[in-house]
């Protein structure tokens, strides 16, 4: 199996390095991840006149006993979705990868966070190209978070998800799409030891919103959680022009799902791993039918 791994925390993050090593039990792993932190980028791509820098960082051969596939790690100075685009365009010249796995994200991507997530944006890019794709996250922003529960339970989750996806080498320009193209999976682990997890639950994207999202610039806000400016690829005291004021995003999450037990963030709160199937087709077909009934299916008469 050919496995493309990426993330939005950057190629040096602990989560992606654990994920890459974990996935070697399933095949050959190619990592193309952002050079610096790219959280909140969703499916944004790197455009403009700025050169996009790429560097191959490390290679390891497959193990002689066949227990581990090969490993290639590289960074791209770009968004997570652009990392996937680059890999598909430049590195996988003959065959597409069998799967895109994005993570392990430092922080939950449940509920409305999934709309902003660069981790899931990379998975979406895979799904957009007809490739099975999975985003996996742990509900801890600690750069040195304990991922042992993910290491223990994600491989079985991965195998089950791949059972329902069309897996196999896919020759470029002869893409064999799975039964319903555009599906990608959002897997979220609560920040619990492996022996405290209750199990897995399939659920829905939870409902919620953020308030008081902007605060005055305070780099210590993240440093207190171990997230340094260096990790973010930023400077702690940025320059600003005269008259400018500095802000940063933080905020408080408001839970709008009420008593919905299958909302993904409620599943996590109950001590379970949440698994949600998303689709890149965001059309609301019931609403489209309502538009038809309102008379939007019309023809203009031009003289």
Annotated binding site: 8-9, 39, 105
Residues in the annotated binding site for a divalent metal cation: 8-9, 39, 105
Residues 15, 18, 24, 30: is their CA dihedral positive or negative? Answer: positive
Euclidean distance between the first and the last CA atom of the chain, given in angstroms as a whole number: 60
Angle of helix 148-163 versus helix 14-23 axis, rounded to 10: 50
Phi-psi region of 111 (alpha: psi -120 to 50; beta: other; left: phi over 0): left
Is the link from the previous residue into 279 a cis peptide, with omega within 30 of 0?
no
Cβ-based neighbours of 50, under 8 Å, separated by 6 or more = none
**Distance of alpha carbon 167 from alpha carbon 132, whole angstroms:** 8
The answer to whether residues 191 and 268 touch, using CB atoms and an 8 Å cutoff, is no
Pairing of strands 54-60, 71-76: antiparallel
């Amino acid at each position: 199996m050919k496995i493309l791994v990426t993330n939005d925390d950057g190629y040096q993050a602990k989560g992606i390095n654990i994920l890459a090593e974990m996935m070697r039990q399933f095949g050959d792993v190619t990592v193309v991840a952002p050079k610096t932190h790219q959280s909140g980028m969703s499916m944004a791509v790197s455009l403009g006149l700025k050169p996009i820098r790429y560097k191959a960082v490390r290679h390891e051969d497959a193990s002689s006993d066949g227990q581990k596939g090969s490993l290639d790690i590289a960074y791209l100075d770009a968004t997570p979705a652009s990392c996937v685009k680059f890999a598909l365009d430049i590195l996988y010249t003959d065959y597409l990868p069998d799967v895109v796995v994005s993570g392990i994200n430092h922080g939950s991507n449940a509920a409305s966070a999934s709309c902003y997530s660069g981790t899931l944006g990379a998975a979406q890019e895979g799904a957009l190209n007809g490739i099975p794709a999975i985003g996996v996250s742990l509900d801890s922003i600690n750069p040195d978070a304990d991922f042992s529960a993910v290491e223990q339970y994600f491989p079985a989750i991965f195998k089950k998800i791949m059972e329902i996806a069309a897996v196999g080498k896919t020759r470029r320009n002869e893409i064999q799409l799975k039964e319903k193209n555009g599906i990608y999976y959002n897997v979220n682990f609560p920040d619990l030891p492996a022996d405290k997890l209750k199990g897995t639950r399939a659920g829905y994207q939870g409902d919620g919103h953020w308030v008081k999202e902007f605060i005055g610039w305070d780099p210590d806000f993240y440093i207190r959680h171990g997230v340094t400016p260096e990790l973010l690829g930023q400077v702690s005291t940025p320059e600003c022009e005269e008259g400018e004021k500095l802000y940063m995003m933080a905020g408080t999450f408001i839970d709008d799902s009420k008593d919905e037990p299958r909302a993904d963030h409620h599943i996590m709160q109950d001590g379970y791993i949440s698994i949600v199937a998303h689709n890149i087709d965001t059309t609301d077909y019931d609403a489209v039918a309502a538009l038809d009934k309102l008379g939007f299916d019309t023809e203009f008469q031009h003289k």
